[in-house]
Chains A and B, each alone.
Chain A
Amino acid sequence: MSLFTFSSELKVIAAVALVFGAVELGIRGIEADLSIDMKHIHAIPSIVESLDRQPAPHMVFLGNSLTRVSIQPEAIEEVWPTAPSMARIYPDDTTLLDWHYVYQRYLGKVKSGPNLIVVSFVRSQLDDSQELHIDRLGSHFAGFQFARELFEHDVHKLGDRMEFMLAGVFRTMANRERVQYRVLASIPGYKELADAVNYRVRAKASETASPSRGPFYTRLHRFLSTVRTRGDKVLFVAIPLPRPYKVAPELRDTIRRGGGDLIDMQGAEPFTGQDFPDGYHLSEAAAPRFSRALGRAMARNEFTQAALYGHVEH
């Protein structure tokens, strides 16, 4: 095998770096248009700014695609005429830790208060078992600004920390999951296969997880304490799914002790399987019904009234 000089290999490395530089620039240029979700994530600062310009009090619905589909501010206003200024933040496939950093990074900038944060969730999205999306935490939700807190509490492995830092610097790293999905989704039958693989991966993760009595809510406790420290209030809303799920007593307890409140909206409306066309999200027809039911429930809820107006409105 003949031997090359080091400088010759530098040419190779420079060429590879040049290609990746171009890819990085390209992704930075088109990032906001990669998907509806990315468009929304990029719009979060302007959503918050716009809310800040509206008269206090403010109410922010924080969640994921369930919030996007199920919670419609116009429908809420129909049944709750004195509803405060509202905004929705709903990056896809997010759970409590993402919301924790979205709250700190973006909503912490709302100058006029008080604010009521309404977090909508299903099943175990508030407990500590939720998988972290390190790429997105690094690039969109936490960023370097909250790296210290994240490393102290949430991301302990060196590999995960490196991934976080790389995603914070390079948009290529931050968006690789989306690019991968875009490419692979063009393969016929990929969705069925991905569902089967994901099911197996989750099952394996739960098999290898250390046996514990769980669920645990240390992240939730931290979130509640952060919100409280900033003088805001948080209300949790359990969103209905085709199959009802149990809201754990420990969850209620943690929320109550953290100064928040919970409204379980399962069963608030008599939804059937047909109201969930994809088996998860409410249909276009069912969503306004749900939003109106939520508006009525919030209008009656003493915690909500006290959080927004400092007293209970009758």
Chain B
Amino acid sequence: MLFNSWTFWVFFALVLPTYWLLPFRAQTRFLLAASYLFYGWWDWRFLPLIAFSTVMDFYLGNLVAAAPEGVPRQRYVYISVVVNLSLLGMFKYYNFFAHEVTGALNGLGLSVSLPLVELILPVGISFYTFQSMSYVFDIARGVTKPATNFWNFALYVSFFPHLVAGPIMRSGAKGQDELGRGLLKQLEVPRAWIEGSFAVGLYFILIGLFKKVVIGDNMASLVDTIFTEDASTLTGPECLAAVYAFAWQIYADFSGYSSIAQGVAKWMGIDLMHNFKAPYLAMSPSDFWRRWHISLSTWLRDYLYISLGGNRGSEVATYCNLMITMVLGGLWHGANWTFLLWGFFHGALLCLYRLFSWGQSISVTLAGRAWRVVLMFHFVCFGWLLFRAEDLSQVATFMRLILTDFQMTPVAMSMLVLIAFYTLPLSLFEIWVESRKDMGALTEAGWATRAAVYTYFLVMLIFFPAPTAHEFIYFQF
């Protein structure tokens, strides 16, 4: 049940009015049932897994809260970490490691064959696993209390708008105000319909659909065409255009999903955090990670980087912590060397900027800001090449062509014009939003401005859908 499918909107059209007609406690049970229906729509066999994870973390949370500080409390935290990561590892990483270990041992002359298992990756497992783990961590740190009842917690884990591709919402612990209102805390109190929610939700839904259906899917067609083409027929500008297109595809696809999730939740009186804040306007890697997939980057910062020591130790230790965090962040995306390399590259970039103090916030002129943004965008694009490539040899081929072959073909030219046609208006809009320092700035503009922008979104949605619709990229993570 994709957000860009009619099935979802029919489902939501039935859920929304029913939800508001019910009393508070019934709302929670009803939303939980709707969320499980939503999740089971992909494959009902995934339901026991999310139910197991929910029950386990709910009771572990209670045990952690009841246990005295120190080893007994840590023991329950370890159980949560080991079981959650084992589930994630089994479904997501086992075959990769089995394959690589077998290859390595065979390379050493040891004839070993580890069995591979045929498992379907449960959609959204990385998101809800990290979310329920953060709940246990926060209780262990003493910054939050356990959920008031099981049903609230179960809904916190499975709330359908953000279930399969985030944002990874926190429960609402102390000190997490920068991440907006915690989801669990919101679910534990009655929701009130605020009239303005309609306008805000409408904005998020329309811009999300525009990003996904118009930009994401159209870019996907270009990307797939070039990345699956025989490399001997490609030119440098075609490869470069494909990398640009992928940069926009992954951003529009993922931020579009997050935005629709925000809008849908808003119409149910629940705030989800901003997961993206114009990331391609970042001037440095640390700035980029404050804007890109914020719910994951802050999760990694709070529960991994800081736990490793953060920047509290020596400079060398800080660099090591950064590298470990980013490599594991890459691995979160999937079991492939390209993801690891992507994480490594971003870790190295963060270290480099830190080493030379390039990322320090200094006031710069417009031109100074512009070249920093353009440079950072190209660093990010190189990362996306690592991320999207089928394997490392494709990365090498694309880089060789980009750096040595400058033959501008009609295909490359039309790709670049198409990328501009689809993404330039969004870029200008984001620059305007950035200047207003408010992600919802449009909802505060005059009604005629909103009508003009929404008309543009709808015109593009009607007249410029892609040749084929694509699943959201982040479902596979």
Contacts and interface: CB of A to CB of B under 8 A. Distances in A.
Interface of A: 1-6, 8-9, 11-12, 15-16, 19-20, 23, 158-159, 162, 172-173, 176, 179-180, 183-184, 187-190, 192-193, 196-201, 204-205
B462 A173 contact: yes
Nearest to A15: B451
Contacts of B7: 158-159
A105 to B, nearest CB: 25
25 contacts: A1-B196, A1-B438, A3-B195, A6-B199, A8-B199, A12-B450, A12-B451, A15-B447, A158-B7, A172-B462, A176-B463, A176-B465, A183-B463, A188-B414, A189-B409, A189-B412, A189-B414, A192-B411, A192-B414, A193-B415, A196-B229, A197-B225, A198-B467, A204-B224, A204-B468
Given A15-B447, A159-B7, A187 B224 contact: no
B221 A187 contact: no
A188 B410 contact: yes
Contact of B444 (A2, A162, A173): A2
B104 interface: no
A184 B419 CA distance: 12
B78 interface: no
B362 interface: no
Contacts of B438: 1
B235 to A, nearest CB: 12
A111 B194 CA distance: 62
B206 to A, nearest CB: 10
B448 interface: yes
A20 B457 CA distance: 12
Given A180-B463, A197-B221, A200-B225, A188 B413 contact: yes
A113 B463 CA distance: 42
A3 B458 CA distance: 23
B410 A193 contact: yes
A9 B438 CA distance: 19
Interface of A, helix, strand, loop or mixed by DSSP: helix
B196 A2 contact: yes
Given A1-B200, A180-B463, A11 B195 contact: no
Given A200-B221, A200-B225, A190 B6 contact: no
A3 B410 contact: no
A279 B412 CA distance: 24
B464 interface: yes
Contacts of A188: 410, 413-414, 417
Contacts of A176: 462-463, 465
Nearest to B412: A189
A5 B411 contact: no
Contacts of B5: 158-159
A201 B10 contact: no
B414 A190 contact: yes
Interface residues of B, number: 46
B12 interface: no
B6 A162 contact: yes
Nearest to B193: A6
A196 B410 contact: no
B202 interface: yes
A200 to B, nearest CB: 4
Interface in B196-218: 196-200, 202
Given A8-B199, A23-B459, 13 more contacts: A3-B199, A5-B195, A12-B454, A15-B451, A158-B6, A159-B7, A176-B463, A189-B412, A189-B413, A196-B411, A200-B221, A200-B225, A201-B221
Given A11-B447, A16-B458, A158-B10, A4 B195 contact: yes
Contacts of B228: 200
A192 B228 CA distance: 16
Contacts of A5: 195-196
B439 to A, nearest CB: 8
B47 interface: no
A52 to B, nearest CB: 37
A171 to B, nearest CB: 12
A6 B6 contact: no
Interface in B162-201: 194-200
Contact of A4 (B199, B222, B413): B199
Nearest to B438: A1
A20 B418 CA distance: 25
Contacts of A4: 195-196, 199, 443
Contacts of A2: 196, 443-444
A193 B410 CA distance: 8
A197 B222 contact: yes
Nearest to A205: B468
Contacts of B444: 1-2
A3 B194 contact: yes
Contacts of A158: 5-7, 10
Given A6-B195, A15-B451, A201-B221, A187 B468 contact: no
Nearest to A18: B451
A48 B10 CA distance: 40
B455 interface: yes
B65 to A, nearest CB: 34
Contact of B411 (A172, A173, A189): A189
B450 A184 contact: no
Nearest to B5: A159
B353 interface: no
A192 to B, nearest CB: 5
A4 B228 CA distance: 48
